[in-house]
Structure 1
Amino acid sequence: MSVVTLRMLFDVDTAAIGRRADGWLRMANGIDDACEQLIRVSRDLEHVWPDGPAAEAAAARSHALRSEASNAYPPCRRIGDALRLHADTLRGLQGRLQGLAAEASGRGFSVDVTTGTVTAPARMFTEPQIVAQQISAYVNEFQAILAQAAESDASTANAISVNLPDATTGFGTLGLPPVTEATLRDQQGRTPKEVNGWWRTLTPEQQEQAIRDFPELVGWLDGVPSSDRDTANRLVLTTRMNALRGEADAHARRLADLLINDPRNQLEIQRETQAMNAAQSQLDKLAEVDKALSGLGAKGLLLGVDGSGDGRVVIAVGDPDTARHTGVWVPGLGTTMAGNTVDNVKRMVTVNNAADQLTLADGDISTVYWLGYDAPDLNNFSVAGEGRSEQGGPSYLNFMEGVRATHDSGPSHLVAMGHSYGSTVVAEAALTGRLPVDDIMVQGSPGMHTDSASHLMADPRHVWAGSAGNDPVSETSNVTKYTQFVPIVGPFIGNAYDDGHDISPHEPEFGANQYTVDTSGHTHYWEPNSESVKNQGRILAGQYSRASTVHGSPPPDVVP
Structure 2
Amino acid sequence: MTGPTPPRAATAGYVQLSTVAPAGWRATGTAWAGLAGLATRRADELADGTAALRAGWSGRAAGSAGTRLAGLRTELTALVPVAVEVDQVLAGFAGRLTAARARLSAAVELAAATGVLIDRSGRVRPDPARVPPERAAGTVAPVATGIRDALDLAGAADREAAGRLGQLSRDAAVGWVTRPPPGRPAPHTDPARVRLWWAGLTTAQRRWLVLHEPELVGRLDGVPAADRDQANRSLLGVRREELRARWERLLARVPRGPMEVAGLRAVDAARAGLDALAARLDSAESPRSYLLGLDVDGEGRAVVALGDPDRATGVVTYVPGMTAGLDDATGELGRAARVLARCADLAPGQETSAVLWLDYDAPDFLHEAARDGQARSAGDALHRFQEGLRATHDGPPARQTVLGHSYGSLVVGTAARDHGLAADALVFVGSPGVGVGHASELRVPPEQVWASTAPDDVIRLTRPPDELARQAVLGASPVGTIVDWLAGPRDERWFGRDPAEPGFGGRTFPSGRYGHTGYWDPANPALDGMARVVLGR
| TM-score bracket for the superposition, by shorter chain length | 0.5 to 0.7
Q: CA RMSD in A?
A: 4.2
1:366 lines up with 2:353 in the alignment: yes
State which of 499, 512, 519 in structure 2 corresponds to 1:518.
Answer: 512
Q: Which amino acid aligns with 1:371?
A: L
Q: Which amino acid aligns with 1:417?
A: L
State whether residues 431 and 499 of structure 2, in contact with CA within 8 Å, keep that contact through their aligned partners in structure 1: yes
1:539 lines up with 2:522 in the alignment: no
Aligned to 1:291: 276
Would the alpha carbon gap of residues 176 and 517 (structure 1) be closer, same or farther in structure 2, given more than 3 Å must change?
same
Aligned to 1:349: 337
Aligned to 1:505: 499
Aligned to 2:395: 409
State which of 391, 395, 411 in structure 1 corresponds to 2:377.
Answer: 391
State which of 256, 267, 270 in structure 2 corresponds to 1:282.
Answer: 267
Question: TM-score under structure 1 normalisation?
Answer: 0.58
State whether residues 456 and 515 of structure 2, in contact with CA within 8 Å, keep that contact through their aligned partners in structure 1: yes
Q: CA deviation at 1:227?
A: 1.5
Q: How far apart, in 1, do the equivalents of 2:70 and 2:255 lie?
A: 52
Residues 31-430 of structure 1 correspond to what in structure 2 (within 5 A)? 56=68, 177-178=179-180, 183-184=183-184, 186-242=185-241, 244-245=243-244, 248=247, 269-270=254-255, 278=263, 281-282=266-267, 284-295=269-280, 297-298=283-284, 299-338=288-327, 340-361=328-349, 364-380=351-367, 382-430=368-416
Q: CA deviation at 1:437?
A: 0.9
Q: Which amino acid aligns with 2:240?
A: M
State whether residues 333 and 421 of structure 1, in contact with CA within 8 Å, keep that contact through their aligned partners in structure 2: yes
| Matched residue SS, 2:517 | coil
Q: CA deviation at 1:529?
A: 3.3
State whether residues 248 and 276 of structure 1, in contact with CA within 8 Å, keep that contact through their aligned partners in structure 2: no
Would the alpha carbon gap of residues 459 and 214 (structure 1) be closer, same or farther in structure 2, given more than 3 Å must change?
same
Would the alpha carbon gap of residues 514 and 453 (structure 1) be closer, same or farther in structure 2, given more than 3 Å must change?
same
Q: CA deviation at 1:324?
A: 1.1
Would the alpha carbon gap of residues 356 and 378 (structure 1) be closer, same or farther in structure 2, given more than 3 Å must change?
same
Q: CA deviation at 1:536?
A: 1.0
Q: Which amino acid aligns with 1:412?
A: A
State whether residues 423 and 444 of structure 2, in contact with CA within 8 Å, keep that contact through their aligned partners in structure 1: no
Q: How far apart, in 1, do the equivalents of 2:257 and 2:459 lie?
A: 42
| Matched residue SS, 1:357 | helix
State whether residues 178 and 206 of structure 1, in contact with CA within 8 Å, keep that contact through their aligned partners in structure 2: yes
CA offsets per residue over residues 412-443 of structure 1, 9 Å max, x none?
A: 11001100111111112212463111111110
1:527 lines up with 2:527 in the alignment: no
| Matched residue SS, 1:451 | coil
Q: How far apart, in 2, do the equivalents of 1:201 and 1:427 lie?
A: 35
CA offsets per residue over residues 202-221 of structure 1, 9 Å max, x none?
A: 22332223223332222211
CA offsets per residue over residues 431-457 of structure 1, 9 Å max, x none?
A: 246311111111011112212112224
Q: CA deviation at 1:282?
A: 3.1
State whether residues 315 and 369 of structure 1, in contact with CA within 8 Å, keep that contact through their aligned partners in structure 2: yes
Q: Which amino acid aligns with 1:344?
A: E
Q: CA deviation at 1:368?
A: 0.9
CA offsets per residue over residues 515-534 of structure 1, 9 Å max, x none?
A: 01013221111101321111
Q: CA deviation at 1:331?
A: 1.0
Question: TM-score under structure 2 normalisation?
Answer: 0.60
Q: Which amino acid aligns with 1:522?
A: H
Q: How far apart, in 2, do the equivalents of 1:426 and 1:202 lie?
A: 34
| Matched residue SS, 1:305 | strand
Q: How far apart, in 1, do the equivalents of 2:221 and 2:492 lie?
A: 34
Q: Which amino acid aligns with 2:352?
A: I
Would the alpha carbon gap of residues 41 and 503 (structure 1) be closer, same or farther in structure 2, given more than 3 Å must change?
closer
Aligned to 1:75: none
Q: Which amino acid aligns with 1:502?
A: G
Aligned to 1:115: none
State whether residues 328 and 369 of structure 1, in contact with CA within 8 Å, keep that contact through their aligned partners in structure 2: yes
Q: How many matched pairs? A: 375
Would the alpha carbon gap of residues 379 and 530 (structure 1) be closer, same or farther in structure 2, given more than 3 Å must change?
closer
5+ residue gaps, structure 1: 1-35, 71-171, 256-267, 487-496, 544-560
State whether residues 351 and 536 of structure 1, in contact with CA within 8 Å, keep that contact through their aligned partners in structure 2: yes
Greater Rg by CA: 1
Would the alpha carbon gap of residues 178 and 40 (structure 1) be closer, same or farther in structure 2, given more than 3 Å must change?
farther
Q: How far apart, in 2, do the equivalents of 1:374 and 1:57 lie?
A: 43
State whether residues 250 and 263 of structure 2, in contact with CA within 8 Å, keep that contact through their aligned partners in structure 1: no
Aligned to 2:162: none
Q: CA deviation at 1:241?
A: 0.8
Q: How far apart, in 1, do the equivalents of 2:289 and 2:269 lie?
A: 20
Q: CA deviation at 1:275?
A: 7.8
State whether residues 288 and 337 of structure 1, in contact with CA within 8 Å, keep that contact through their aligned partners in structure 2: yes
Q: CA deviation at 1:231?
A: 1.8
Would the alpha carbon gap of residues 289 and 176 (structure 1) be closer, same or farther in structure 2, given more than 3 Å must change?
closer
State whether residues 266 and 299 of structure 2, in contact with CA within 8 Å, keep that contact through their aligned partners in structure 1: no
Would the alpha carbon gap of residues 361 and 446 (structure 1) be closer, same or farther in structure 2, given more than 3 Å must change?
same
Q: Which amino acid aligns with 1:369?
A: L
The higher relative CO (CA closer than 8 Å, separation ≥ 6) is in: 2
